[in-house]
Chains A and B, each alone.
Chain A
Amino acid sequence: MAGFLSPERTGRSVLGIAWYAQGFFALLRYLATHLSALTVRPTRLVLFKQIYFTGIEALGAVSIIAVLTGIVITTQITSLVGVNATLTAKIMLWVVVRELGPLLTAIVIIARSSSAAASELAGMKIRGELDSLRQMGIEPMDYLIVPRIAGITLSVMAVTFYFQMLAIIAGIGFTALTHGIPFAGTLGSVVSLLTLGEVAASFFKTLVFGLVVSITSCYYGLRAPATTTAIPQAATAAVVRNLLTVFLLDGVITYAVFL
């Protein structure tokens, strides 16, 4: 216990968080000031590939999780309060749109793409490919980082929306089949309960999650030292930091917006 709480270990952790925060905001600032890099065709191709790998290829896993989540939630609601279309719609909205949609989607994308992006960038750095790009007159940040951050962020936002829609439809569909609650009526209740503020809060949360996942992955890939053992370390560090940050921010945003 003393070792776990030693001043040296604590100090190293605090410094690590400070470096991470500094690197995160430096990359965020770079993205904001270099979005024009996406107008160059080869960079756009990197963006499209990233959207394909992070967004489209994740749809299978996300679909299964969304359907099961929707079914589990509506089953629990029905078992707790009985057949009640309005309450089912309200709870589905609160749980899926506000919380589970953004959170579960972020977790799936962290598991699939965060480690992949971090290890790919670390490998490229170790093999001297960033230097190769510079000697071709191509700024590696513009060609590798800007499209990855943009691609992962857009994918997180789009896949979250898909998750939310699918989970709600699957959940309502399942209760319609098993308990005879009218599908159209419950879906109508969900839509009528959905406010602009609700949509904006969900959009904001997914934007933040997307930026966190993409920037953190790139940060750990870029800061890897030039040894091959650094590749798995970069991947692990990116996944762990992403999970911690996403859960922390989820709590902060929920508290700030919904309380």
Chain B
Amino acid sequence: MSEVLALEEVGVGPVRGLSLALSSGQTARLTIASHDAKSALFALLAGHRTPEAGRVRLFGEELYALPDDARVPLYRRAGFVPEQGGLISNLKAWENLLLPAAFHQGLNADAVEARVVALWREADPDGADLRETMGKLPDRLTAFERRMVALLRALLPQPDLLVYDFLSSGLDAGSAARLYALTQRFHGEKPGRASVYLCADDAASAKLPADVTLRLG
């Protein structure tokens, strides 16, 4: 098993002395009580916030020793699902969803449409007209729709690492359970894929099976 993500005595914002080692195929669940700590940690993993202490290695590379433009190719192997979606405001939901897959792999809408529709219906069986949803700009989407777009956007390029940021936050128990079930299936779809869940201390998150579990104050 090769190393996917390693944190060594990392200090970032309110998080202090955090260590974590995640190998290919493993799942980590980090239960975090503080929203500030969660935001700091997600920004650190996503490459936006330099740690005040410690080291971060992503796919074996010392992440924060690399200049910004050298980090970008490394992130082609990772998929992030931010709590607020992290969508591009001037792109419609469908364009957002397709962006990384179209950019890196040249995929077009026809190639992924059937899969996207099936996955969306699985997560939201009684949802609104998907065609209408896909034509909306991000500020017209509900919190659930934004998260679904972010989730499918992260999945389509088939990354080696998936990072979920408070995936169940603000959702009803049924929707949260369906989203978690989808992510667990994604995990097994590609051999060696690793998953990191940043979770609130809630019942849905507590049921997630994980190889590495940590609890941060």
A contact set with B: CB distance below 8 Å: 40-43, 120, 123-124, 127-129, 131-139, 143
Contact = CB atoms under 8 A, between A and B. Distances in A.
A88 B80 CA distance: 65
A106 B149 CA distance: 39
29 contacts: A41-B103, A41-B108, A42-B99, A42-B103, A43-B103, A120-B90, A124-B88, A124-B89, A127-B89, A128-B86, A129-B88, A129-B89, A131-B47, A131-B86, A132-B86, A132-B87, A134-B46, A134-B47, A134-B71, A134-B72, A135-B47, A136-B75, A136-B99, A136-B100, A136-B153, A137-B78, A137-B103, A138-B100, A139-B69
A127 B82 CA distance: 13
Contacts of B82: 132
B10 to A, nearest CB: 18
A135 B76 contact: no
B73 interface: yes
Nearest to B71: A134
Contacts of B71: 134
Given A124-B88, A129-B89, A135 B78 contact: yes
Contact of A42 (B69, B74, B90, B102): B102
B44 to A, nearest CB: 12
Contacts of A40: 103
Interface string B66-100: 00110111111110101000111110000000011
A127 B86 CA distance: 9
B125 interface: no
B103 A138 contact: yes
Contacts of A135: 46-48, 75, 78, 80, 86
B146 to A, nearest CB: 12
Contacts of A138: 72, 99-100, 103
B68 to A, nearest CB: 7
A115 B82 CA distance: 30
Given A135-B46, A135-B75, A143 B103 contact: yes
A40 to B, nearest CB: 6
Nearest to A132: B86
Contacts of B100: 136-138
Contacts of B14: none
The residue in B46, B71, B72, B87 that gathers the most chain A C-beta atoms within 10 A of its C-beta is B72
B191 to A, nearest CB: 21
A124 B87 CA distance: 10
B166 to A, nearest CB: 16
B47 A133 contact: no
Contacts of A127: 89
